[in-house]
Amino acid sequence: MKTSTEDLLRGARAGDKEATDTLFGIAYDELRRIARRVRHGGNETLSTTALVHEAYLKLLPSAVPANDTAHFKLLIARAMREVLIDGARRRTAGKRGGGDIAVTLDDDVQAAPLKTAQLLELHAALEELEQVDPRRVAVVECRFFGGLDVEETAAALNLSTATVKRDWRVARAWLAKALL
Protein backbone atom coordinates (compact mmCIF):
# COMPACT_ATOMS: atom_id res chain seq x y z
CA MET A 1 0.00 0.00 0.00
CA LYS A 2 1.42 3.37 -1.01
CA THR A 3 1.61 5.98 1.66
CA SER A 4 1.33 9.35 -0.04
CA THR A 5 -0.81 10.90 -2.72
CA GLU A 6 2.25 11.31 -4.94
CA ASP A 7 3.10 7.62 -4.62
CA LEU A 8 -0.45 6.65 -5.49
CA LEU A 9 -0.56 8.83 -8.59
CA ARG A 10 2.85 7.77 -9.76
CA GLY A 11 1.97 4.14 -9.18
CA ALA A 12 -1.26 4.44 -11.12
CA ARG A 13 0.47 6.11 -14.05
CA ALA A 14 3.11 3.41 -14.06
CA GLY A 15 0.35 0.85 -14.33
CA ASP A 16 0.24 -0.43 -10.74
CA LYS A 17 -3.09 -2.23 -10.54
CA GLU A 18 -3.70 -1.72 -6.82
CA ALA A 19 -3.05 2.03 -7.00
CA THR A 20 -5.24 2.34 -10.09
CA ASP A 21 -8.10 0.45 -8.45
CA THR A 22 -7.87 2.52 -5.31
CA LEU A 23 -7.86 5.83 -7.18
CA PHE A 24 -10.64 4.72 -9.44
CA GLY A 25 -12.73 3.70 -6.44
CA ILE A 26 -12.13 7.03 -4.72
CA ALA A 27 -13.08 8.94 -7.86
CA TYR A 28 -16.21 6.82 -8.28
CA ASP A 29 -17.34 7.44 -4.71
CA GLU A 30 -16.59 11.13 -4.87
CA LEU A 31 -18.47 11.66 -8.14
CA ARG A 32 -21.54 9.91 -6.82
CA ARG A 33 -21.35 11.87 -3.62
CA ILE A 34 -21.15 15.21 -5.38
CA ALA A 35 -23.92 14.24 -7.78
CA ARG A 36 -26.15 13.22 -4.92
CA ARG A 37 -25.43 16.38 -2.98
CA VAL A 38 -26.23 18.53 -6.00
CA ARG A 39 -29.47 16.60 -6.45
CA HIS A 40 -30.46 17.21 -2.88
CA GLY A 41 -29.72 20.88 -3.25
CA GLY A 42 -32.24 20.93 -6.06
CA ASN A 43 -29.75 22.19 -8.60
CA GLU A 44 -30.52 20.30 -11.78
CA THR A 45 -28.23 22.20 -14.11
CA LEU A 46 -25.05 20.57 -12.96
CA SER A 47 -22.94 19.56 -15.91
CA THR A 48 -20.62 16.60 -15.92
CA THR A 49 -17.73 18.92 -16.61
CA ALA A 50 -18.51 20.84 -13.43
CA LEU A 51 -18.93 17.60 -11.54
CA VAL A 52 -15.62 16.21 -12.70
CA HIS A 53 -13.94 19.51 -12.03
CA GLU A 54 -15.28 19.65 -8.51
CA ALA A 55 -14.14 16.11 -7.80
CA TYR A 56 -10.76 17.00 -9.18
CA LEU A 57 -10.42 20.07 -6.97
CA LYS A 58 -11.62 18.17 -3.95
CA LEU A 59 -9.29 15.26 -4.42
CA LEU A 60 -6.15 17.03 -5.57
CA PRO A 61 -5.53 20.14 -3.52
CA SER A 62 -1.79 19.68 -3.29
CA ALA A 63 0.69 20.35 -6.04
CA VAL A 64 1.67 17.22 -7.95
CA PRO A 65 3.50 16.70 -11.24
CA ALA A 66 1.42 17.68 -14.26
CA ASN A 67 1.57 14.32 -16.03
CA ASP A 68 0.38 12.57 -12.88
CA THR A 69 -2.61 14.86 -12.53
CA ALA A 70 -3.42 14.39 -16.21
CA HIS A 71 -3.49 10.65 -15.72
CA PHE A 72 -5.71 11.07 -12.69
CA LYS A 73 -8.14 13.10 -14.80
CA LEU A 74 -8.38 10.13 -17.13
CA LEU A 75 -9.24 7.93 -14.15
CA ILE A 76 -11.93 10.40 -13.08
CA ALA A 77 -13.37 10.36 -16.60
CA ARG A 78 -13.49 6.56 -16.56
CA ALA A 79 -15.11 6.63 -13.14
CA MET A 80 -17.67 9.11 -14.42
CA ARG A 81 -18.52 6.73 -17.21
CA GLU A 82 -19.06 3.91 -14.78
CA VAL A 83 -21.06 6.07 -12.38
CA LEU A 84 -23.42 7.09 -15.17
CA ILE A 85 -23.78 3.61 -16.58
CA ASP A 86 -24.41 2.13 -13.14
CA GLY A 87 -26.99 4.81 -12.47
CA ALA A 88 -28.69 4.12 -15.77
CA ARG A 89 -28.69 0.36 -15.13
CA ARG A 90 -30.18 0.83 -11.69
CA ARG A 91 -32.94 2.91 -13.20
CA THR A 92 -33.90 0.41 -15.80
CA ALA A 93 -33.55 -2.48 -13.37
CA GLY A 94 -35.84 -0.63 -10.96
CA LYS A 95 -38.49 -0.34 -13.63
CA ARG A 96 -38.42 -3.97 -14.57
CA GLY A 97 -38.41 -5.30 -11.03
CA GLY A 98 -40.98 -2.77 -9.95
CA GLY A 99 -39.38 -2.56 -6.53
CA ASP A 100 -38.14 0.99 -6.53
CA ILE A 101 -40.07 4.18 -6.49
CA ALA A 102 -40.04 5.86 -9.88
CA VAL A 103 -38.14 9.10 -10.23
CA THR A 104 -40.44 12.03 -9.92
CA LEU A 105 -38.21 14.93 -9.08
CA ASP A 106 -36.67 15.42 -12.50
CA ASP A 107 -37.40 18.59 -14.32
CA ASP A 108 -37.08 16.63 -17.48
CA VAL A 109 -39.25 13.69 -16.49
CA GLN A 110 -39.93 12.92 -20.12
CA ALA A 111 -36.33 13.14 -21.19
CA ALA A 112 -34.86 11.00 -18.45
CA PRO A 113 -35.93 7.53 -19.61
CA LEU A 114 -34.91 8.36 -23.16
CA LYS A 115 -31.47 9.54 -22.13
CA THR A 116 -31.04 6.58 -19.85
CA ALA A 117 -31.60 4.24 -22.77
CA GLN A 118 -29.33 6.26 -25.04
CA LEU A 119 -26.62 6.23 -22.47
CA LEU A 120 -26.75 2.46 -22.19
CA GLU A 121 -26.63 2.18 -25.96
CA LEU A 122 -23.65 4.49 -26.04
CA HIS A 123 -21.95 2.34 -23.46
CA ALA A 124 -22.57 -0.76 -25.55
CA ALA A 125 -21.24 1.01 -28.64
CA LEU A 126 -18.13 2.05 -26.75
CA GLU A 127 -17.55 -1.50 -25.62
CA GLU A 128 -17.75 -2.59 -29.22
CA LEU A 129 -15.36 0.13 -30.30
CA GLU A 130 -13.01 -0.83 -27.48
CA GLN A 131 -12.41 -4.16 -29.20
CA VAL A 132 -10.98 -2.54 -32.31
CA ASP A 133 -9.85 0.85 -31.16
CA PRO A 134 -9.12 1.32 -27.45
CA ARG A 135 -7.27 4.61 -27.98
CA ARG A 136 -10.29 6.35 -29.48
CA VAL A 137 -12.45 5.01 -26.64
CA ALA A 138 -10.05 6.63 -24.21
CA VAL A 139 -10.37 9.91 -26.11
CA VAL A 140 -14.16 9.65 -25.91
CA GLU A 141 -13.98 8.93 -22.21
CA CYS A 142 -11.86 12.01 -21.56
CA ARG A 143 -13.83 14.34 -23.78
CA PHE A 144 -17.33 13.02 -23.23
CA PHE A 145 -17.38 11.63 -19.73
CA GLY A 146 -14.52 13.61 -18.23
CA GLY A 147 -15.41 16.91 -19.83
CA LEU A 148 -11.73 17.45 -20.62
CA ASP A 149 -10.77 19.83 -23.40
CA VAL A 150 -8.49 18.82 -26.25
CA GLU A 151 -5.29 19.92 -24.50
CA GLU A 152 -6.18 18.13 -21.26
CA THR A 153 -7.12 14.99 -23.14
CA ALA A 154 -3.85 15.10 -25.04
CA ALA A 155 -1.92 15.41 -21.78
CA ALA A 156 -3.87 12.63 -20.08
CA LEU A 157 -3.35 10.20 -22.94
CA ASN A 158 0.08 11.36 -23.97
CA LEU A 159 -1.07 12.18 -27.51
CA SER A 160 -0.71 15.22 -29.70
CA THR A 161 -3.63 17.65 -29.82
CA ALA A 162 -4.04 16.99 -33.53
CA THR A 163 -4.44 13.28 -32.90
CA VAL A 164 -6.98 13.94 -30.19
CA LYS A 165 -9.00 16.20 -32.49
CA ARG A 166 -8.96 13.66 -35.28
CA ASP A 167 -9.73 10.70 -32.99
CA TRP A 168 -12.62 12.55 -31.44
CA ARG A 169 -14.15 13.40 -34.79
CA VAL A 170 -13.79 9.87 -36.09
CA ALA A 171 -15.07 8.25 -32.94
CA ARG A 172 -17.95 10.70 -32.72
CA ALA A 173 -19.04 9.89 -36.26
CA TRP A 174 -18.71 6.18 -35.64
CA LEU A 175 -20.72 6.38 -32.42
CA ALA A 176 -23.35 8.64 -33.92
CA LYS A 177 -23.80 6.10 -36.69
CA ALA A 178 -23.93 3.25 -34.21
CA LEU A 179 -26.57 5.05 -32.18
CA LEU A 180 -28.84 5.73 -35.15
Partner 1 sequence: MEIFERVLEASPDARDQLIRDETGNDAELAATVRAMLTADASANDLLDDGIGRLAHLAVEPGHVESTEVLPGARIGDFEIIAELGRGGMGIVYAARDRTLGRVAALKLLPAGAAIDSAASERLIAEAQAASALDHPNVATIYQIGVTHDGHRFIAMARYEGETLRDRLARGPLASREAFGIARQVASGLAAAHAAGLVHRDVKPENIFLTRQGLVKLLDFGIATLAGSPREGPTRGTVLYMSPEQARCELADARSDVWSLGVVLYEMLTGQPPFTGDTAAEILGQIADASPVKLPSVVRKIPTAAVATIARALEKDPGKRYANGSEFSVDLDRVHGLWSRPRNLRIGIAVAAGIAIVAASIALLNDDRVSTPEMPQLAVLPVAGDSADHEATELASALSEEIAARVVGLGRVRIVPLRRDSAGYVVSRPGLHLLSLVIQRDPIGPVLEVSLEESSSSRTMWSDRRGFDRKELRELGRDVVIGVLHALGQPVTERERGIIGSGFPSSAEAYEEYLRGNRLLALRTPPAVESALVRYRRASRLDTTFAGAFARQSYAYSLLLEWGWKPSRLVPADPLVEGLALANRATMLDSTSADAWLAQAYILVQRDPRRFAGAVEAFQYAISLDPYNAEAFHQYGQTLTALGRYPEALAAYRRALALEPDRAMSLVPMAAIYKRQGRLAESLRLLDSAVSAAPRVPYARAARSTSRTLTGNAKGARDDAEIALGLDSNYRIPPLAALARALWLSGDSLAALARLREAERSVADPSAPSPTEAYWIAMAEVAAGRTERATTLLRDARPKGAWLWFYFQGPELDELRKNPEVAALLADVDPRRRVR
- Interaction with partner 1 in 103-162: which residues (CB under 8 A)? 103-106, 108, 111-112, 115-116, 118-119, 122, 132-133, 144-145, 147
Beta carbon nearer to partner 1, 143 or 154:
143
Count residues near partner 1 (CB under 8 A): 80
Q: How far apart are CA 103 and CA 48, in angstroms?
A: 20
Exposure string over 18-49, b if 16+ CB within 10 A, otherwise e: ebbebbbebbbebbbebbeebeeeeeeeeebe
Among 15, 17, 66, 99, binds partner 1 (CB under 8 A): 99
Contact 125, 179 (CB under 8 A): yes
Smallest gap from residue 154 Cβ to partner 1 (A): 18
| Subset of residues 36 to 55 that bind partner 1, contact rule: CB under 8 A | 36-40, 44-51
Contact 146, 85 (CB under 8 A): no
Contact 75, 24 (CB under 8 A): yes
Q: How far apart are the first and last CA of the chain?
A: 46
How many whole angstroms from its chain centre is CA 128? 17
Among 15, 17, 98, 110, binds partner 1 (CB under 8 A): 98
| Subset of residues 62 to 91 that bind partner 1, contact rule: CB under 8 A | 62, 72, 80, 83-84, 86-88, 90-91
Smallest gap from residue 161 Cβ to partner 1 (A): 16
Beta carbon nearer to partner 1, 117 or 158:
117
Smallest gap from residue 64 Cβ to partner 1 (A): 9
Q: How far apart are CA 83 and CA 34, in angstroms?
A: 12
Beta carbon nearer to partner 1, 15 or 177:
177
Smallest gap from residue 83 Cβ to partner 1 (A): 5
